[in-house]
Amino acid sequence: MLKPAVQMDGVGKTYAGEVRALDHVSFQVAEGETFGILGANGAGKTTLIRIASTLMRPTQGRVVLFGETDGTAIRRRMGVVSQDCTLDPHLTVRRNLSFHALFFGLPGPRRKRRIDEALAWLGLDHCADAAIHTLSGGTKRKVMIARALLAEPALLILDEPTTGLDPEARAVVWSRLRAGAAAGTTIVLSTHHRDEAEALCHRVGVIEQGRMADGDSDALDAWFAKAAAHA
């Protein structure tokens, strides 16, 4: 049996002592597995993603990443794409990627090669020297994805990674995520899209009102039928 890369035990999160965003969520993701999280807006999936990526502490429960409970110990092995843009708006695309690569300790020649490759496969060559604040939302999203994949992390945590991307860019990102999974990268991603979950994920969890349930085919059918009824 593969070791768990991500383990959540009874994780809860309450805001302002009153609003319960997560309620005793427990699940495991094995090393090399891609685990999807489906949920409507407000269901708790972004809170769950932020806790898994060590950006937020849970109110209760335990999070273990590669056997570590200290987030500092795992951050250099992790790539994250959050919903909000976390790029430095005043730096260029290339400089944002370069600083991230330095944080991960990539040596000079490898750093330049990885950055050039990332710019090329996401079609960012033309804006490599443009400041982030001059770019469209979709282009910023591409840069965040490139940054997350830059150092070939052991764990990728992605919050609706393809939101705002055109179909061609979406297909490229899917291809890269599949390649990462094939190479052993563990991936946790949230999505609204059934085709994305089915194309990329080995397993899916459905989160509703802060609680997690296994996303077997019946659960997925029920969730998407409910989502369509409220669309």
pLDDT in tens, 15-36: 987 788 999 999 999 999 999 9
Looking at per-residue pLDDT, the higher value among 4 and 42 belongs to 4
Burial class (CB in 10 A: 0-12, 13-18, 19+), 104: middle
Sequence-separated (6 or more) residues with CB below 8 Å from residue 215:
36, 38, 197, 203, 204, 205, 206, 223
Residue 25, beta-bridge partner list: 11
What distance in Å separates the CA atoms of residue 52 and residue 71, rounded to the nearest whole number?
Answer: 9
Say what the pLDDT of residue 17 is.
Answer: 72
Looking at per-residue pLDDT, the higher value among 223 and 175 belongs to 175
User: Taking a C-beta distance cutoff of 8 angstroms, is the pair 147, 100 a contact?
Assistant: yes
pLDDT digits (tens, 9 = 90+) for 137-182: 999 999 999 999 998 999 999 999 999 899 999 999 999 999 999 9
What distance in Å separates the CA atoms of residue 82 and residue 50, rounded to the nearest whole number?
Answer: 8
Say what the pLDDT of residue 99 is.
Answer: 93
Residue with tokens 């898994």: 52
Q: Report the predicted TM-score, pTM, of the whole model to 2 decimal places.
A: 0.91
Looking at per-residue pLDDT, the higher value among 80 and 227 belongs to 80
Report how far Cα 163 is from the mean position of its chain's Cα atoms: 12
In this structure, which topology does domain 4-229 adopt according to CATH? Rossmann fold (3.40.50)
Pairing state between β 4-15 and 155-159 = unpaired
User: Taking a C-beta distance cutoff of 8 angstroms, is the pair 223, 231 a contact?
Assistant: no
Say what the pLDDT of residue 32 is.
Answer: 94
Q: Parse the chain into domains and list their residue ranges.
A: 4-229
